[in-house]
Structure 1
Amino acid sequence: MATDDAVQQSRRRPKDRKQQILAAAARQFRELGYSNVSMADIADEVGITAGALYRHFRSKQDLLLGAMWRTFRHVEVALDGTDVDLDDLLDTLATFSVEERAIGVLWQREARNLPEEDRQRLRKALRAISASAVKAIVGARPQATPADLDLLGWAVLSILASPGYHTVELKPERFVTLLDHAIRAVCAAELTSTGGTPPTRERVRGTGRPPLHPVSRRETLLSVAIHQFSQQGFQAVGISDIGAAASITGASVYHYFSNKLEILLTALNRAHETLWLGLHYALESAGTPSRALELALHSYIDFGVRHPELLNLMVTEILNVPEEQRHELERRQHSYMLEWASLLRGRRETLDAPEAELLVHIAFALVNDLTRIDHLHERPTLADDLVTLCLCVLNAPT
């Protein structure tokens, strides 16, 4: 009898069980964050026991790696046969990005939970995808410099990753069209040549000198914590680590912050308030929605270029905040985005609300991603070129 039950169970088990597990894991890691998801959570969604899940994957880390390879391999399959034709490549990538919204989030936010050897393998695969984009852009822009092609390649990947960071809903074909047009607009952007017009903003990183710290012990703790959270992730940093980096004992940190979470919340609130101050300045200084949008864009880019680690916390660490406080932060983020969308609709009256919101999210993604890529800060015109790229997105034909 037991044998019959086992046979029936085997017959009921779907052949794509492993793919179901990987899809469920990718969704949960994207929406809840790797640290907040257990193997039991994933097993429950798939409808199996945790023991059955361990027969497919040895650990949660193994499952994260499998989910990432699943999406990367899907990209490789999607690119197969497209050669280097820019139109075919962008159509294929835009469609895939809408269908597989987790891919960018898993790489940008969760890959740090993997061993370095696995990250290197994934990074190699990502560079191959970027190389395909660059090769296609070269065909359309043979006169572009290597530095410009590098920037554009990363910009394309940023746009493709952007759907994973928001919940804007459009009909799939409409979503793909807008994403495709945004990428095309970016690929055609007239960038500031690194050997041409001097940048309008000074370089603020890469001086080679050790940073100065505030006299205030509290501000010093906040500064070193932001750096550590950004580099290692909130979960991996302890109070003693923060104290040691600030040259005090871990127990002394509690004279300034009640716990590690308070430090993270202080950093996130400071980032939000800084962005809102920039937006208020734009609204007060401009006579038209179009001009206000441009001023807001400059403000956001300046923030990203000057404070990439603080911006990184906004992107990667909000899921480590308890639910009630997280919802308040997300509400403020959403309100900030809606102000931009309103200005964009004032600039382009034919856009409907979801279309405007999608284009704003893509522009945010460009700044969020490109300001966090270290080697791009060697480009003296990065801030000016980010303005150009973002305006190409916001003005992209629909």
Structure 2
Amino acid sequence: MTVQSPRASRPADRRRQLIDHAAELFVQRGYPHVSMADIARAAGVTAPSLYRHFDDKQDLLGAAVLSGVDDLEICTDRALSGRMAPSDDALRALVETICKRPDSASLWRWTGAYLSDEQNREVALRTRAVLRRWAEVLFGDDPDLAGWERSQLTWALLSVAGSSAVHKTRLSPAREIDELVGRGERLLRLRPSQAPPRPPEVPPMPSETRRDEILDAASNLFAERGYADVGVDEIGAAVGISGPSVYNHFPSKAAILVGIGQRSSARLEAGVMAAYASSNEPGEILAALVDSYVTVITATPDLSVSFNNAPALATDPSARELLENQRRYVARWIDLLPQADPALAGGPDPTGPAEAAVGVHAALSIVNDAVRLRRGTSRPEFAAQMAYLMKGVLLPGTDG
């Protein structure tokens, strides 16, 4: 009997296997909270074996992100090669392309801050080239659609399709794709240049306490460099105190992150109370929630920082109430949507709430992704256009 050596039985593409395991862990737990030992364990190899393929974790992240771009390019070639599909067929092809490899679609959006400038430039250039190809098929040469609108709508479509990676649903994959295609069809009918202007926003109140100054400084540093790469000493220096003095106000860096989340949660809850006080109509309440969410996420980095660093608090007992408040907040949207959209309300179909969840996360991903990637956030009309796109995706017959 011939006995195969371990080397002969080793999978041919071990490097790709390692990349796939790493990508899955990075998406599930967040890049800062995954070690090379975790990846080696998940892949069933030793740590030295992992280092034979990659210099360090950052090198592995770069390979994983670029592998995802490779996948997107290959799937785009398959979907669009040799034909110019009708826009509805192209939309379904785009959604299916993203949903088949959710980690590939979402990894860069979540980890761009940890890549080198050169890596980010390469990913951005290649992704834009792919999206331009999709835009040519989806929008053709529509003379009424400006170039910047085509770009914004295509990026928003990428967010809608990629939203499948940020939540769990009770829908079958086919039903989820149908729901995302339906949301995408609504998005394609929108014209960002027609977004109604928003009333001038009241700037946030200046910090009056040392505690708030610490939260402000930490929020800005976490947004710029990531939670894991910022130390308490740096937070203290940003407000003119020593690192140990920070502990007079917060027992740990995690407690600072919880405080940032609690502050953004309180602002969202204020928006909820105002929305329900403004109307008894579910659609109007939901539209008001969109407006308040956009205001909160664009006014300060707090909400985006809290959302992006949720994995850091997943096992922290002090964060349980905060995470539960965040779940309840999204649940309000999900409860309202079937009441506002007759297509999801009533009837014997038990999947209505699941379809509503898909729609809500699709809409939220549009602004969450744009803020995370800082895509157009400095433009004065950014908030108005985000609210317009979100309402158009969520609510039937609305123009924002």
Could you say whether these structures have the same fold, taking a TM-score greater than 0.5 normalized by the shorter chain as the test? Answer: yes
Report 1:327-342 matches (<5 A). Answer: 327-342=320-335
The aligned counterpart of 1:37 is: 34
Identity over aligned pairs, percent = 29
Structure 1 equivalent of residue 106 of structure 2: 105
Q: Which residue of 2 aligns with 1:269?
A: 262
Paired position in structure 1 for 2:9: 12
Alignment of 1:208-247 (within 5 A): 213-247=206-240
Q: CA deviation at 1:157?
A: 2.3
Is 2:64 the counterpart of 1:71?
no
The superposition leaves residues 60-101 of structure 1 with CA deviations (integer Å, 9 ceiling, x where unpaired) of 222212221221111101111516644444222211221212
Q: 1:199-258 deviations in whole A, cap 9, x for unaligned? A: 2333789xxxxx995342222221111100111011111122112222233233233222
Relative distance call for 1:305 and 1:72 in structure 2 (3 A) is same
What CA distance in whole angstroms lies between the structure 2 residues aligned with 1:26 and 1:55? 18
Distance 1:375 1:35 in 2: 23
**Stretch moving more, 266-275 or 89-98:** 89-98
2:384 alignment partner in structure 1: 384
Matches within 5 A, 1:55-70: 55-70=52-67
- Is this contact kept in 2: 1:341–1:356, CA < 8 A? yes
Whether the 8 Å contact between 2:76 and 2:97 is mirrored in structure 1 is no
Counterpart in 2 of 1:315?
307
1:361 aligns with 361
CA contact (8 A) 2:232 2:246 kept: yes
Aligned to 2:156: 155
Match of 2:348 in 1: none
Residue 185 of structure 1 contacts residue 392 of structure 1 at CA under 8 Å; is this kept in 2?
Answer: yes
Corresponding letter in the other structure for 1:249? S
CA–CA separation in structure 2 for the residues paired with 1:160 and 1:204: 33
User: Is 1:282 matched up with 2:275?
Assistant: yes
In the TM superposition, residue 332 of structure 1 has moved relative to its aligned partner by: 2.3
Residues 388 and 316 (structure 1 numbering): CA distance in 2 closer, same or farther, change over 3 Å? same
Q: Is the 8 A contact 1:201 1:383 kept in 2?
A: no
AA in 1 matched with 2:223:
S
2:304 maps to amino acid: N
Equivalences, count: 385
1:254 aligned partner, one-letter code = Y
CA contact (8 A) 1:134 1:150 kept: yes
Q: SS of 1:376's equivalent?
A: coil
SS of 1:80's equivalent in the other structure is helix
Distance 2:258 2:190 in 1: 37
Match of 2:19 in 1: 22
Amino acid at match of 1:184: E
1:202 aligned to 200, 209, 230, which one? Answer: 200
CA RMSD in angstroms, aligned pairs only: 2.7
What per-residue deviation string (whole Å, max 9, x for no partner) do you get for residues 320-364 of structure 1?
225034544333222211111111111124421110001001111
Moved more, 83-92 or 61-70: 83-92
Partner residue in 1 for 2:189: 188
Q: Which has the larger displacement, 166-175 or 336-345?
A: 166-175
Could you say if the C-alpha distance between residues 322 and 391 of structure 1 is closer, same or farther in structure 2, counting changes exceeding 3 Å? Answer: closer
Note the residue ranges of structure 1 that are not aligned, 5 or more in a row: 206-210
Deviations 1:253-301 (A, max 9, x none): 2332222222111001111121122112222332122221121111112
Aligned 1:172-187 pairs, distance under 5 A: 172-187=173-188
The 1-side partners of 2:158 and 2:299 are apart by 22
What TM-score does the superposition give when structure 2 sets the normalisation length? 0.87
Following superposition, the deviation at residue 190 of structure 1 comes to 3.2
In the superposition, the TM-score normalised over structure 1's length comes to 0.87
Letter of the 2:367 partner, please give it. Answer: V
Cα gap change, 1:305 to 1:56, in 2 (>3 Å): same
Residue 377 of structure 1: SS of its match in structure 2? coil
Aligned to 1:300: 293
Name the SS for the 1:200 alignment partner.
coil
Structure 2 residues not aligned, in runs of 5+: 345-351
**Corresponding residue for 1:208?**
none
